[in-house]
Structure 1
C-alpha cells in the first residue's frame, strides 16, 4: 500500500514538474520575443528618423549656394547614407530570423550570434565611413572662411558624438539583453 502511494505521488510530482518546466520555457520564449520586438521597434524608429531628417539636411545644404561642398565630400556622404541604410535593413532582416517558436534553441543562438556579429561589423563600417566624411565636410567648411560656420560645425560634431555614443550604448545594451535572454533558453 505504501509503495503504491509513493509511486502515485512520484508520478504526480513528475507531472507537475513537467508542467512547470513547460511554463518556464514559454515564459523564456515570451521574454526573447519581447526583446526582439523591442529591438525591431528601435530600429524602425531610427530608420524613420533618418528618412525624415536626411531630406531636411540635404535641403538645408542645397539652399545655401555660397557653401558648396566638394565632390569627394558628397561621395562620402552618399556612401555613408547607403551604408547606414544597408546596415539598418540587414539588422531588421536578421532580427526577423530570430523566432523561438519555429526554431530550436541552437538555431536561435546561431541567429542571435549572426545578428551580434552584424551589429559589430555595421557599427565599425559606419564609423570608418563617418571619419573621412566628417573630415571632408570640415575641410570644405574651413575653405568657406566663415568662423561662425566652423564654430557651429564643431559644436554640432561634439553634440552629435555625444548623442551617437548614447544611442550606441543603448543599442548595445539591447543586444546584450537579447543575448542574456537567449542564454536562459539553454
Structure 2
C-alpha cells in the first residue's frame, strides 16, 4: 500500500514539476501527442531527451518498432529518419553519451513512456517507447521518463509492425515536429 501511495504521489505531482514534449505525428496516425516528463524520477534521461528535442533532433524520426498490444518505439536520431534506409533504424542513438539507469517504482501502464536500451541497463540514449497496454514485466528494468496526457488516440493509431519483431515495413509513421513544453 505504501508503494502504491508513493507512486500516486509522484504521478500527482508530475505536471507541476515536469517539462513536457509535444509531438506532431503523421502517417496512419495523424495528430498531437502530449507527454509530461518526470524530471524528479529520471532527471538525466529527461535532460537528454529535452535537449535532443530542443535541437530538433527528433524531427523527422520514424516509429521503427511497433508491437500491437505492447508499445511503439521511436527516437533513433542516427538511423531513424524518414526517407533514409530503414534497415538500421533502431540500432542508433545520438552523439551524446549513453545514460546510467534511473529505475523507479513507477509501473509500465498504458501511456507510460520509457527509455529503450540494449541488454546493458546503462545504455539508454535517445530512443523511447510509449506503452499501448500495461507491461509490468518491464517494471524496474527500464527507465520511466514520462506519461502521455493527451493524444493516446493518436498513439493507438500508429502503424503496427511485424507481429514478432515489431519492425515496420513500408512507410512508417513519423514524428514531424517534437517541441519541449513547460
Same fold? TM cut 0.5: no
Which of 1 and 2 has greater Rg? 1
Question: Which structure has greater strand proportion?
Answer: 2
Higher helix share: 1
- Name the TM-score, length of structure 2 as normaliser: 0.28
